[in-house]
Every structure is written in C-alpha cells, then in structure tokens.
C-alpha cells in the first residue's frame, strides 16, 4: 500500500450516519464501499462471545433489534457530556448509559458468554466508526490515510469538540481540523472559498436530518496567509429531537388510526413492537415516495388483515405541517438573533442539509420564509462530508478550487429537437452570468417538455457532457410551436447553475440546480477544448443539417395540411409545383435522418428555400380563409 502523506479526507461523523469524502483535482466526491454504499450507519455492535468481531455500520444497524444491549447508536449525543447532562437523551437510547470518572457519560455493555462486561467512553465508540470510515477511504483510494478533517455541530462546546479529537486519535487519524457542519455545507457549494475579489458572505444553513434540526447563520470572510477563509457563527439554534423520524411517526399514527379498528383494537392502544416496526418502515417508504410523486400506495399485511390505501402529498403535508412550522419558527428566531451582527447586511445564500430537506413542503416553506432560492444541487446527505473534504484539500495544498474560476470553463446549453445543443452561456463568460432564451414544442398537443442541460463545446448533445434534466409538465395541449418556454440559465458567483423554465401561456414551471464544475479536471477542460477545435467544421455542418431537418419538417407539415385543405382551390400547375417541392425536400430530409453526411447542406437549404418561396401563395390563401372563418368576437 502506498502512502500519500498529503491526503486529508473529510469526515461527517453524524448522529445516525457517517460519511467520508476526498477532494482532488476532480473536486469533492464521496468514498463509498465496494458495493457502492457511501453512508456508514453510526452504529457499533460489541461481541457477546469470544472470537466475535466488533460490527460497525449497516449490519450492526439491521441487527440492532436482535442485540439491543450490545448495539450502540447515536453515541454522538453522549460525546463530551456528563451522564447528568445527557440525561434527557438517554431515554431515547436502547443501551445502558452510566456515569464514569467525574460523572462523564459512559456506555455499559453487559457481560456475555465468556466476555466480561465493558464500560466504554463515547470517544471509543466513535473511534470504531471512524476506523470503519478510514478503512473504507483506504480501500477506495488504494493507499493509506492518516489525516482527516472532521465536522462537528456548530453548537458543540469545547468538551464535545475535544472528545471528537480524541475519537479521531484513537482511530489512528490526525485530526487536522474540526469544522462546523454548516460551514462545511457552505464550502461544498464553493461559498466562502478564496477567489479573486471575494467579499464576506452571509449564509443560512438549514439542516433537517432524521432526528435533529440545526439552523445556523454564518459569515464567511476571505482569509489571510495560510487561512483560506474565516468563519463566524452569527447565531445557531435548532431542536435536538426533531426530524424526519417525527414525520414518519405522524404518518404511523394516521395509519394506526385506520389499522387498529381493522384489528379490532381501540386506536388508543399501542401497537406491538412488531407492528410498530412494520408501520414505521412503511411510513418512511411512503414519505420518501411522496417527495417525488403526488400520491403513494400503502400496502400492509398485519396479522390477519390486509390494509391498503393511497396517501396524497397534501395529506402528508397536513400531517407534518406543524412539525415543519416548528423548524420555521426556530429558524426565524435564529435569524432575528443574528440581525445585530448582520448590521443591515442581507443574507446571501441559503444551503439545505439533511435528508428531510428533500420534502417539498420543507423546501417551499424555507424558500418562502427567507425569500431565497436554496442551494440543493448536491445530495443533502453528503454535502457536509463533501465540504469537509474541500477544507481538507485547502489545508493540504491540493487546491480544491482548481476549477473554481472566475470564468466558466465550458459553455452551457440545452438540447434541442434533433440532438443539437443551443448554447445559452458561452465559455469564458465571467461569473455571475445569466442568459434567457425562448423555446417551443415540436409536436402538436405536447403537454410536457423535457429539458436536458449540457456542458461542452461540441455542437451535438451526444458529444457534450450532460449535467441533468427536468420536465415542465401540465402544459395545456396547443399546436406545435405555440407554447412559449422561457428558459433562464443563471450561474452565481460560486459557480452553481440554476436553470429555470416557465411556459408563458400556462405559467407551468420547473427548475434544476447543478454544479457544472464538479467531477471536471483542468485536463479534461483542455481535452474538450481541443476536440471542439478538431471537429469545428464537421460540427457546424452537422448542426446546420439538424436544424434544416427540424425546420424542414415543420414546413412539410404546415404545407401538407394546407395543401390537403385547399387543393381544389389551387391551379393544377401550382399544386403540382408544390407537390414536387414537397417531394424533393422530404426525400432529402429522410436521407439526412439516415445519415447526415449523405446530404449536401447547401442543396438541402436550397430545396427548403424553393419550397418556402413557392408556398407563399398558398400561405396567403390560408390566411384569407382563416380570417373569413374566424368567429366574430362578442
């Protein structure tokens, strides 16, 4: 195994899940295990018999109910705390928490067959999780890892931070820095990173996970000397027992109110542990489905009954509305507390962290409350670990920001019918950059428009890098070309791209957010540039042929429809001239569709022009008729 002494990984040591990431020339990325799982549940199971291994992660979590007293989860709640201080939390934990030296919280694992009782510090338990993450990183990278940046909640006090450092050391890691979780989340989006002309920026980080809610207002300022940036928490708050698990619970209660009568028990009775588990698993599944679908089916076989019903998103929203409002009240209060420190400055950015920020109601309320479009491009479960790795790269000198430039390295655009790319923002534009363009449909009665966003210099989408796609749906049926889709591309100062699309007639809209430079190296940008030079002439011709195909087809459709309607009114020679023009263009289009290189673009252009000119008379006739046929307005 080779050793790269400079590598500093980023670790999100979470209450329920932990992750490890690296930031290299490709930008930050999560290091997963061989099966591609990235999250390591923060759960450790201790042996009950000699020769049994310590088990960390998914397996320990899945088998937790089988070994409740030997399985330790949520140990982060005990880090650096006394047994007395941790008191209110202990009730939630399935294992035994005792007071150790000077009252410090300790975990007691009962004796097993031939295994003595053990009393462990929370640091030791956390170290087991960190060791598992370290091993996962080493396997993914193929070399040893000795250094890490570890994230901690913004509210962690000295004792809790010190405990985290000790855990790192016990895991054989040099903890080069502890970074507050909200700061890491901002760094993952490039907020606060050193760049030319950087100014202090104020950020709200709204973090709603499974069991905890944290809200922080931060100021990130450009650094000096070795310090890439300075960070200041203006105010923090939250609720250590509020999160997605409570959403699940609200849904469980709603289901139980309907299931209990079917089982012949009053709804006030508590479901058995087995039934409770089934209900809560189903509740989480349905909740997650409702983040992307409008309705989801619940289906449960409990004892002798089969329970099935559909939950709509609005039903879920009614059940969790109060819980979401609690986070909003708390967030507003924290923002109020920051007002003085902000001294009239605005909040520049809003970052969402935690799996529960995928809930549409949460996003909507947060957006409404702060009047800002939140950063959501990165996976909200991964953003803290990614940011920790960015800090690691800054500290090790492996400049993360190789591509965090003040200009866009590659052009950005959308795919149009026929597979060409319409570039909205061209390469080398300075950021922030903004562009707007109108598009329409190519098929009559089209009620949805899918937009694919690309990055690159080539003319065809197939030769560019796809950044993502989204759809505007629910457009009322209209003839092709009538809907007006206004597409806006906005790249902010941090290089994050927001694409929004609104159909002007119906008001239907949708949007997408991506970080275009993620996963892209300087070398790749150069290769893409070279390729575009090499293919420039061929690409231009191809783009022209594709446009001729699309526009020619629209002509053929339009002329064909009117010819059918008005043929009897036309002079036979004129009808024959049009028929011939249509046949010539149709043949060229069909050949071009088989192989674009088999046609001469100029010849195709001439055929289209000839037909367009010839069809003028037909056009006049059609307009005159449509005016005659138009109903009188009342």
The residues carrying an active-site annotation are: 12, 76, 181, 207
Sheet of 433-439: strand order equals 433-439, 485-491, 497-503, 509-514
Choose which of 10, 17, 184, 383 interacts with ligand AMP (CB under 6 A).
Answer: 17
Closest separation in Å from C-beta 449 to ligand AMP: 25
Size of the site for ligand AMP (CB under 6 A): 17
Binding mask 519-558 for ligand AMP (x = CB under 6 A): ----------------------------------------
Q: How far is the CB of 151 from ligand AMP (least distance, A)?
A: 13
User: Is there binding between residue 359 and ligand AMP (CB under 6 A)?
Assistant: yes
Q: Which stretch binds ligand AMP (CB under 6 A): 117-125, 237-245, 396-404, 482-490?
A: 237-245
| Shortest Å, Cβ 317 to ligand AMP | 12
- Cα separation, 568 vs 158, in Å, equals 91
Tokens 């980023």: give the residue: 10
Answer left, alpha or beta for residue 171, where phi above 0 means left and psi between -120 and 50 means alpha: alpha
Interaction between residue 381 and ligand AMP (CB under 6 A): yes
Of residues 191-220, those binding ligand AMP (CB under 6 A): 209-210
* C-alpha distances out from residue 171 to 16, 167, 220, 567, Å: 19, 6, 31, 85
Instruction: Indicate the residue among 355 and 409 with the shorter CB distance to ligand AMP.
Output: 355
- The half-sphere exposure of 549 on its side-chain side, counting CA atoms within 13 A, is 22
The answer to the question of residue 288 lying near ligand AMP (CB under 6 A) is yes
Task: Give the bridge partners for 487, in sequence order.
Answer: 437, 501
Binding region for ligand AMP (CB under 6 A) out of 146-154, 170-178, 307-315, 349-357: 349-357
Closer to ligand AMP by Cβ: residue 10 or 210: 210
Nearer to ligand AMP, 169 or 363 (CB): 363
Asked if residue 417 lies in contact with residue 550, where contact means CB atoms within 8 angstroms, the answer is yes
As a whole number of Å, the CA-based R_g of the chain is: 30
Helix (H) or strand (E) holding 282: helix 273-289
Whether the bond into 573 is cis, omega within 30 of 0: no
CB of 309 to ligand AMP, least distance (A): 20
C-beta closer to ligand AMP: residue 379 or 429:
379
Report, in Å, the least distance between residue 16 CB and ligand AMP: 5
- Which of these, 327, 353, 332, lies nearest to 189 by C-alpha position? 353
Contact status: 16 vs ligand AMP (CB under 6 A)? yes
284 counts as binding ligand AMP under rule CB under 6 A: yes
- Using DSSP's 3-state secondary structure scheme, residue 181 falls into helix
* Shortest spacing between CB 625 and ligand AMP, in angstroms: 54
Contacts of 238 (CB under 8 A, 6+ apart): 155, 207, 212, 213, 214, 215, 330, 334
Q: Given the rule CB under 6 A, which residues bind ligand AMP?
A: 16-17, 209-210, 243-245, 284, 287-288, 291, 354-356, 358-359, 381
């Amino acid at each position: 195994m080779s050793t790269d002494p400079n590598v500093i990984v980023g670790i999100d040591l979470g209450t329920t899940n932990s992750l490890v990431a690296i930031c290299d020339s490709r930008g930050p990325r999560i290091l997963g295990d061989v099966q591609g799982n990235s999250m390591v549940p923060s759960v450790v199971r201790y042996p009950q018999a000699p020769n049994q291994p310590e088990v960390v992660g998914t397996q320990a979590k899945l088998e937790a109910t089988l070994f409740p007293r030997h399985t330790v989860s949520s140990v982060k709640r005990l880090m650096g705390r006394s047994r007395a201080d941790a008191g209110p939390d202990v009730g939630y934990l399935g294992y035994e928490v005792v007071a150790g030296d000077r009252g410090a919280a300790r975990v007691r694992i009962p004796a097993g067959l031939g295994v003595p009782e053990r009393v462990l510090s929370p640091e030791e338990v956390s170290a087991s999780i960190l060791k598992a993450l370290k091993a996962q990183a080493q396997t993914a990278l193929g070399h040893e890892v000795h250094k890490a940046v570890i994230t901690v909640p913004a509210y962690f006090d000295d004792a809790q931070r010190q405990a985290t450092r000790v855990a790192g050391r016990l895991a054989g890691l040099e903890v080069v820095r502890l970074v507050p979780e909200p700061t890491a989340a901002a760094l993952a989006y490039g907020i606060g990173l050193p760049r030319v002309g950087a100014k202090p920026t104020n950020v709200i980080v709204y973090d709603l996970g499974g069991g905890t809610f944290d809200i922080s207002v931060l100021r990130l300022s450009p650094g000096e000397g070795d310090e890439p940036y300075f960070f200041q928490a203006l105010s923090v708050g939250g609720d250590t027992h509020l999160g997605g698990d409570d959403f699940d619970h609200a849904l469980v209660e709603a289901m139980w109110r309907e299931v209990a009568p079917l089982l012949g028990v009053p709804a006030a009775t508590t479901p058995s542990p087995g039934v409770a588990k089934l209900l809560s698993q189903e509740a989480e599944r349905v909740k997650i489905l409702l983040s992307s679908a409008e309705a989801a089916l619940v289906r449960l076989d409990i004892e002798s009954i089969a329970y099935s019903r559909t939950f709509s998103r609005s039903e879920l929203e009614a059940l969790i509305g109060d819980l979401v409002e609690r986070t909003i009240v708390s967030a507003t209060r924290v923002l109020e507390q920051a007002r003085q420190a902000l001294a009239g400055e605005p909040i520049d950015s809003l970052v969402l962290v935690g799996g529960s920020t995928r809930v549409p109601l949460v996003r909507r309320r947060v957006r409404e409350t702060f009047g800002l479009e939140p950063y959501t491009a990165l996976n909200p479960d991964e953003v803290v670990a990614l940011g920790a790795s960015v800090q690691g790269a800054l500290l090790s000198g492996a400049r993360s920001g190789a591509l965090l430039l003040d200009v866009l390295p590659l052009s950005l655009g959308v795919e149009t019918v026929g597979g060409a790319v319409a570039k909205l923002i061209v390469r080398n534009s300075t950021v922030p950059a903004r562009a707007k363009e109108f598009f329409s449909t190519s098929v009559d009665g089209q009620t949805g428009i899918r937009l694919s966003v690309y990055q690159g210099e080539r003319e065809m989408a197939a030769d560019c890098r796809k950044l993502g796609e989204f759809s505007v749906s629910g457009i009322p049926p209209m003839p092709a070309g009538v809907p007006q889709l206004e597409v806006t591309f906005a790249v902010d100062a941090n290089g994050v791209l927001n694409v929004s699309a609104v159909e002007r007639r119906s008001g239907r809209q949708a949007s997408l957010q991506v970080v275009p430079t993620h996963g892209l190296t300087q070398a790749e940008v150069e290769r893409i540039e070279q390729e575009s030079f090499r293919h420039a002439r061929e690409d231009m011709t191809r783009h022209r042929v594709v446009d001729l195909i699309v526009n020619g087809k629209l002509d053929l459709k339009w002329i064909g429809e009117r010819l059918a309607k008005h043929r009897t009114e036309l002079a036979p020679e004129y009808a024959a001239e049009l028929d011939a023009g249509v046949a010539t263009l149709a043949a060229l289009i069909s050949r071009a569709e088989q192989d674009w290189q088999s046609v001469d673009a100029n010849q195709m252009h001439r055929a289209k022009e000839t037909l367009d000119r010839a069809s003028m008379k037909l056009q006049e006739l059609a307009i005159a008729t449509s005016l005659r046929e138009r109903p009188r307005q009342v």
